[in-house]
Amino acid sequence: MTDKLDFMREELEAAKAEKRYINIRTMDSPADAWMVVDGEKVLNFCTNNYLGLANHPKIKAAAKAAVDEWGVGPGAVRTIAGTQRLHIECEERLAAFKQVDAALLVQSGFCANQAAIAPLVGRNRETGEQDVIFSDRLNHASIIDGARLSGAKIIVYEHCDAADLEAQIKEHLSNYRRGLVITDGVFSMDGDVAPLDELYEVAARYDVMTMVDDAHGEGVLGNGRGIVAHFGLEGKFDVEIGTLSKAFGVMGGVIAGKDVAVEYIRQKARPNLFSSALTPADTAACMAAVDYVERHPELVEKLWANAEYFKAGIQELGIDTGHTETPIVPVMLGDVKLAKAFSAKLFEYGVFAMALGFPTVPKGKARIRVMNTAAHTQEDLDKGLEIFEKVARELDVIQ
C-alpha cells in the first residue's frame, strides 16, 4: 500500500540515514547559563541570550504586570483593533534606542524581514517593471525568503565585499526600476561583521535604498546599540531590522528607520495587516529589556570580556576560532562527523554546544559554535574550557 504521504516518510528516512535528521532537544528549564536539557543539567553555550535577560526578574515582572493590566492577547491585528498603547510606547522606546525617527514592532525578527522587504521592492504584474535587491551571499534565511516573496530580482554579491557590491550595482541597476541593498549586520555562523561603512558608501553613491538586519548586533555591538552605532551611521540606513529575541531575551521584531519608510511599511506590510499584534506580555518585556540594556552597559562589557576569555582559552589549546569579531566563537574542527562527535561528547560531560556542518556552513568547515553570554561566571568559563580541552584530547583534535 502506498499513500500520498509516502514522500514524507521516504525523506525522513533518508535524512536519518544520512545523519541530516534534526534531533530536537527539550529544555526543562528557562534559558540561562546553566539549563536542564533533556533532563540533564548542563552548561549552556547554545542560546542567543547574550545578556542573560531571558529569565531576568525585572523583565519577567514587567511581563506579569502587563498581563494584569492589558490581558494575554491583543485580540486583533495592529491595523484593526490590535494597537494597544503599549505597542506605541515600545515603538517610541525602540526608535529612541536605535537613534532613528520611527519604529514598527512586529511579531518576530523573521517576520520583520517578511514584512519590510516586499513593500520596498517588487515586480509590477501589469507592466512587468521589476526592482532589484543586492543581497550578501551569506544573508540570513529570513532575508532570503523575504526577498523572494517580494518578487524583485535578487542579485547576490560576495560576502562582506563592498567592491563586488559596487560591481553588481554597476552591471545591473540600470535594468531595473529601483534598487535595495540588504545585509546582515553580524553573520551568526562565523561571528563576522558586515563592513557597513563601505556598503553604505557604495549604496549612497548609486542612490539605492539600504537595509541592515542587526539581529546579532543589538545588545552586543556599539555599546549595546547595535552595528549602526558601532559604525557611527545612526539614522543613515533607510531601514534597520532588529529582533527582541536575542540579546533582549524576549520575542518580537522591529522595523526601524526613516519616518517615511516606517510609515510606508506600517501601511503596507502584510504581517502588520494580517497577523495579530505582539502580546502585551511580550511588548512590555521588550520595553523593559531595552531599558535594562540602556541602563546596564556593564552587561555588554561582561559579555565581551567573557567572549574574549573563552576565545583566548580555545586558541591556547591550538584550535582555530575562525574570523569572529563578536562574542560568537566558532571552534573550527573541519570534518562534520568530528564536529558532531565533539558536540555529543561535550554534552556527555555536561556542556551544551551545537555542531554546525554543511549546508549551514561550507563543506570542510564544520565547527562547534559557542555562544558566549554575560550570564556565564568565571567559574563557568573555566569549567567549559576544561571540558573542551578534555574532549579535544579524547578525539585527537589536539595531542
Ligand X SMILES: *Cc1c(COP(=O)(O)O)cnc(C)c1O
List residues binding ligand X (CB under 6 A): 108-110, 140, 142, 184, 188, 213, 215-216, 243, 245, 253
Instruction: Decide whether 109 or 313 has the Cβ nearer to ligand X.
Output: 109
- Tell me which residues are annotated as active site: 188, 216, 246
Instruction: Decide whether 1 or 141 has the Cβ nearer to ligand X.
Output: 141
Return the number of other C-beta atoms located less than 10 Å from residue 319's C-beta.
18
Instruction: Decide whether 115 or 152 has the Cβ nearer to ligand X.
Output: 115
Preceding peptide of 359 cis, ω within 30°: yes
As a whole number of angstroms, the distance between CA 5 and CA 8 comes to 6
As a whole number of angstroms, the distance between CA 249 and CA 303 comes to 14
Q: How near is the Cβ of 271 to ligand X at its closest, in Å? A: 11
Name the grid cell of 222. 556599539
Instruction: Decide whether 145 or 198 has the Cβ nearer to ligand X.
Output: 145
Q: How near is the Cβ of 385 to ligand X at its closest, in Å? A: 26
- Amino acid at residue number 355: A
- Amino acid at residue number 76: A
Sorted by sequence, the CB contacts under 8 Å of residue 17 that are 6+ apart come out as none
Instruction: Decide whether 216 or 365 has the Cβ nearer to ligand X.
Output: 216
Contact 94, 254 (CB under 8 A): yes
Q: Which residue is nearest to ligand X (CB)?
A: 109
Nearest to 78 by CA among 214, 219, 271, 316: 271
Q: How near is the Cβ of 76 to ligand X at its closest, in Å? A: 22
Nearest to 239 by CA among 83, 92, 115, 78: 115
Q: How near is the Cβ of 1 to ligand X at its closest, in Å? A: 40
Q: How near is the Cβ of 306 to ligand X at its closest, in Å? A: 20
Nearest to 265 by CA among 89, 104, 153: 104
